[in-house]
């Protein structure tokens, strides 16, 4: 490792432009082409001169050891001080072994498992030569129309904070310089999940108390866990783009959150401030972003082309550039790049250490824990022995279940439901398979997704002979004892730039559901989605006996689904983001304020805060999820009714397995701050435990409640509690009603 002094000397020795180029990030693909014409063609499109490309400090988007070694060698030879490049990549929910999408990971209510999975991803990324993962995404979400909810940890700041910190620790370990570890980048700072109307990149309007108390918490947790990098967001905060928002970056991020790592812009975000109408031109954008404290300009030439001139004109101080470059050099140093610029990059290890049976097993376990059983009239788990099962629907034998953000993964590695089912069911069970309809159908326009053609080649015959396949599906449904209907969103319908206004099942699948349920009354729906969909029609269909939400489950999706269907594994997930009752309810989330006219208790009256044509509550609330067993939670008890500043009281309840098989309950503690100097949520998650109980077994679950747990952020970012009345709720979802009261006294 270089000393701080040595790094300082290196900085002193660098020319101004050389320093500025450390702050430039472009795409790895630009460097892979040996043809100068091809290279220039690409670069010109981004307006970045070749000389700056030669000295650029980092690249994104290249992910294999061979290419990265090659690029590093060539670039270091050109860089005047032979400074190694940083290689960054979107390792969102897995490198080669793809774990369930992040929202599904949140559904596990198991941050420790998420940490293990991130650690596996780090190990796989390390041998490919990567240094930074653009993950985790800590954006709080309340609007499932936004396609990026799939990358989030849902609507609850506490759960999201634990998940975010877990993932950061998983990537970085104790020391990101260690073998098998890489740097995490918490994104998108800040409030990106608040996009109005759920439309991606749209305006965000958040009051400061809501920003601090809800939206900033998970980023803060990731930063407190030591994340080496933070990425800015595309949206506005206080009507200024986050990327050039000095208050947000210097005051909140750097001062209040004590972040001293590297701040990178999101893709093109500095230049986009021109389109926002808050920068005159690229030069002005560069000035504002540097002033706000952005260290790396991702994918634009704003910094490279303008910062030197801005220094000469006295419009920005070279000191700001020095500070930014020092942060970048420190990160390179922490990762050990000055000693070994290639770090873990090793094509042989890549082949050996990625997608190992152990990694696959972990992905399978996390997938099982993430599946949420939303409905079950006793049909699941499917019994053993002779039976006729029809697997119908576009996902019955489909590898495209790793999500649009699994950019380093390969659909080809995925186990399909069919493959897993054919292995799992005993002799005597007759299994048949039929797509019936494609996931989306060529008739449904899906702008800008060329990958779709490749992914949907499995539906070629279905597209050619739609009637034949629909008829075959209906025939199979009439033949079967049980139908497992494998349906849901196309994997390209969620992720970045996939906002939707109608978040119901694709049209042709609705038709399939209706035809199949006409002829078979034992239908299990296995639902794939990147977001909570509006599924009231499915839930209310009397032929649908069970609904298993499986999200985008990753490489071992098929095996995990079959394990859960057969009862080899339990569906372990709980709802991490409300499933709306209808689209018009959005945003709907459990931790809302009471309002001056709360509807509860006044449902039959007018002039209360409620819809006239729909309930206020979502269809499936945060924290909800069935298991193959049943649990009873006793009346809750508190060890005292007065909590002092340094004291603790214990909230406890007995949880009993009243079902006939072993099962895992997710016991949740919620607290309500009854009176505050600012409006406080009707309840907030403050603790949870996954408890596995044998049939008839009972356990006492205790949560320690102390003063720091009762603190909240005000609009200035102060974190404090207020004396007065609180209520504690212990239950199995956010709908828990019974509570016990206590007071915080000073």
**Residue 727: partners with Cβ closer than 8 Å, 6 or more residues away:** 671, 672, 674, 683, 739, 740, 741, 742
Shortest reach from residue 443's CB to ligand BGC, in Å:
29
Dihedral of the alpha carbons of 165, 170, 176, 178, in degrees to the nearest 10 = 150
The residue within the footprint of ligand BGC, chosen from 21, 55, 90, 369 (CB under 6 A), is 90
At its nearest, how many Å lie between ligand BGC and the CB of residue 187?
Answer: 6
Subset of residues 99 to 158 that bind ligand BGC, contact rule: CB under 6 A: 134
CB 404 → ligand BGC: shortest distance, Å?
Answer: 12
Minimum Å gap between C-beta 231 and ligand BGC is 6
Q: Residue 743: CB partners within 8 Å, gap ≥ 6?
A: 641, 642, 643, 723, 724, 725, 726
Q: Supply 187's token pair.
A: 């994104």
255-294: contacts with ligand BGC (CB under 6 A): 266-267
- Residue (of 559, 470, 459, 476) closest to 511 by Cα position: 470
Q: Is 30 in the site for ligand BGC (CB under 6 A)?
A: no
Are the C-beta atoms of residues 250 and 166 closer than 8 Å to each other? no
Q: Which residues contact 40 (CB under 8 A, 6 or more apart)?
A: 50
- Kindly write out the interface string for residues 597-626 of this chain, putting x where it contacts ligand BGC by CB under 6 A and - elsewhere: ------------------------------
* 3-state SS, one letter per residue, for 697-719: CEEEEEEEEEHHHHCEECCCCCE
Q: Of residues 477-536, which lie at the interface with ligand BGC (CB under 6 A)?
A: 496
Is 90 or 297 the residue whose CB approaches ligand BGC more closely? 90
Torsion of CA 358, 361, 363, 367, to 10 degrees: -170
Q: How far is the CB of 25 from ligand BGC (least distance, A)?
A: 9
In whole angstroms, give the CA distance from residue 506 to residue 502.
Answer: 9
Structure tokens of 378? 């006793």
**Which 550-589 positions form the footprint of ligand BGC (CB under 6 A)?**
none
Q: Which is nearer to ligand BGC, 60 or 550 (CB)?
A: 60
- State in angstroms the smallest separation of the CB of 614 from ligand BGC: 33
- Is residue 60 close enough to count as binding ligand BGC by CB under 6 A? yes
- Residue number, 29 or 256, with CB nearest to ligand BGC: 29
CB of residue 184 to ligand BGC, shortest distance in Å: 12
Question: Contact 359/120 with Cβ under 8 angstroms?
Answer: yes
Cβ neighbours for 66, distance < 8 A, ≥ 6 positions apart: 347
E strand or H helix that includes residue 557: helix 557-566
In this structure, are residues 388 and 421 in contact, taking their beta carbons and an 8 Å threshold? no
Tell me whether residue 139 or residue 556 sits nearer to ligand BGC (CB atom): 139
Q: Which is nearer to ligand BGC, 24 or 643 (CB)?
A: 24
Number of residues that bind ligand BGC (CB under 6 A): 7
Which CB sits closer to ligand BGC, 153 or 267? 267
Closer CB to ligand BGC, 134 or 425, in the complex = 134
Q: Which residues pair with 230 in a beta bridge?
A: 186, 263
Strand partners, 482: 389
Q: Does 187 bind ligand BGC (CB under 6 A)?
A: yes
Give whichever of 234 and 670 is closer to ligand BGC, judged by the CB atom: 234
The string of DSSP codes covering 499-532 is: --S--S--HHHHHHHHHHHHH-S-EEEEEE-SS-
**Shortest gap between Cβ of 350 and ligand BGC (angstroms)?**
21
Choice among 143, 266, 284, 397 that is catalytic: 266
Give me the least distance between CB of 405 and ligand BGC, in Å please.
8
Nearer to ligand BGC, 79 or 232 (CB): 232
Give the dihedral sign, CA 398/401/407/412: negative
Supply the angle between the helices 417-424 and 557-566 in degrees, to the nearest 10.
40
Half-sphere exposure of 465 (CA within 13 A, CB side): 7
Q: Is 266 a catalytic residue?
A: yes
Hey, which residues between 415 and 454 contact ligand BGC (CB under 6 A)?
none
Q: Which of 147, 139, 150 is nearest to 199 (CA)?
A: 147
Instruction: Answer for the pair 145, 199: CB distance below 8 angstroms, yes or no.
Output: yes
Count of CB atoms situated within 10 Å of the CB of 595: 12
Residues that bind ligand BGC (CB under 6 A): 60, 90, 134, 187, 266-267, 496
Active site residues: 266
């Amino acid at each position: 490792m270089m000393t701080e002094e040595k790094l300082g000397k290196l900085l002193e020795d660098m020319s101004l432009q050389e320093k500025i180029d450390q702050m430039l990030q472009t795409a790895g693909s630009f460097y892979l082409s040996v043809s100068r014409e091809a290279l220039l063609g690409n670069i010109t499109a981004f307006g970045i001169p070749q000389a700056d490309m030669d000295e650029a400090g980092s690249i994104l988007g290249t992910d294999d050891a061979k290419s990265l070694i090659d690029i590093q060698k060539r670039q270091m030879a050109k860089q005047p001080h032979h400074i190694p490049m940083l290689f960054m990549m979107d390792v969102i929910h897995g490198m080669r072994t793809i774990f369930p999408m992040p929202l599904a990971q949140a559904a596990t209510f198991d941050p420790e498992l998420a940490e293990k999975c991130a650690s596996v991803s780090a190990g796989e990324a390390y041998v490919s030569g990567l240094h930074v993962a653009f993950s985790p995404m800590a954006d709080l979400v309340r609007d499932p129309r936004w396609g990026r909810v799939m990358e989030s940890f849902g609507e609850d700041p506490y759960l999201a904070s634990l998940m975010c910190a877990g993932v950061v620790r998983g990537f970085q370990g104790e020391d990101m310089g260690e073998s098998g570890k890489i740097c995490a980048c918490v994104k998108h700072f800040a409030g990106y999940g608040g996009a109005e109307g759920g439309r991606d990149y749209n305006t965000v309007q958040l009051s400061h108390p809501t920003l601090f108390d809800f939206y900033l918490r998970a980023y803060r947790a990731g930063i407190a866990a030591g994340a080496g990098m933070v990425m800015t967001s595309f949206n506005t905060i206080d009507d200024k783009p986050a990327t050039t928002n000095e208050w947000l970056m210097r005051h909140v991020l750097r001062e209040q959150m004590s972040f001293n790592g590297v701040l990178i812009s999101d893709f093109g975000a500095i230049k986009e401030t021109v389109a926002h109408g808050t920068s005159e031109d690229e030069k002005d954008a560069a000035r504002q972003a540097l002033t706000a404290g952005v260290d790396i300009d991702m994918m634009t030439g704003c910094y490279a082309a303008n910062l030197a001139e801005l220094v000469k004109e006295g419009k920005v101080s070279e000191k700001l550039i020095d500070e930014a470059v020092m942060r970048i050099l420190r990160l390179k140093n922490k990762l050990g790049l000055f000693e070994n610029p290639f770090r873990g990059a090793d094509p042989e290890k890549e082949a050996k250490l990625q997608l190992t049976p152990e990694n696959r097993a972990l992905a399978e376990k996390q997938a099982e824990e993430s599946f949420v059983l939303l409905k079950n009239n006793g049909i699941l788990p499917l019994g053993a022995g002779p039976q006729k099962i029809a697997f119908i629907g576009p996902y019955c034998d489909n590898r495209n279940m790793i999500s649009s953000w699994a950019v380093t993964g390969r659909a080809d590695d995925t186990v399909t439901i069919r493959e897993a089912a054919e292995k799992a069911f005993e002799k005597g069970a007759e299994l048949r398979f039929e797509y019936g309809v494609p996931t989306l159908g060529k008739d449904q326009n899906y702008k800008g997704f060329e990958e779709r053609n490749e992914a949907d080649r499995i539906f070629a015959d279905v597209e050619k002979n739609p009637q034949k396949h629909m008829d075959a599906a209906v025939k199979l449904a009439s033949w079967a004892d049980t139908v497992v209907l494998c349906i849901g969103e196309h994997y390209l319908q969620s992720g970045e730039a996939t906002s939707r206004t109608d978040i119901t099942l694709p049209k042709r699948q609705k038709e399939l559901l209706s035809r199949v349920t006409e002829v078979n009354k034992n239908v299990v729906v296995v639902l794939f989605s990147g977001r909570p969909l509006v599924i009231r029609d499915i839930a209310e269909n009397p032929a649908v006996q069970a609904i298993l939400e499986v999200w985008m489950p990753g490489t071992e999706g098929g095996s995990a689904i079959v394990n859960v269907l057969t009862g080899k594994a339990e569906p372990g997930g709980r709802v991490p983001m409300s499933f709306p009752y209808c689209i018009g309810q959005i945003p709907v989330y459990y931790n809302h304020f009471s309002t001056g006219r709360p509807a509860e208790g006044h449902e039959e009256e007018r002039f209360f805060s409620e819809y006239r044509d729909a309930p206020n509550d979502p269809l499936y609330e945060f924290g909800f999820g069935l298991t193959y067993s049943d649990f009873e939670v006793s009346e809750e008890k508190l060890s005292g009714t007065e909590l002092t500043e340094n004291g603790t009281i214990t909230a406890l309840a007995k949880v009993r397995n009243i079902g006939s098989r072993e099962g895992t309950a997710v016991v949740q503690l919620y607290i309500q701050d009854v009176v505050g100097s600012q409006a406080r949520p009707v309840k907030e998650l403050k603790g949870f435990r996954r408890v596995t109980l044998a049939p008839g077994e009972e356990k006492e679950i205790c949560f320690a409640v102390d003063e720091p747990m009762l603190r909240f952020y005000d609009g200035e970012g102060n974190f404090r509690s207020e004396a007065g009345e609180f209520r504690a709720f212990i239950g199995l979802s956010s709908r828990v009603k019974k509570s016990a009261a206590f007071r915080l006294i000073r």
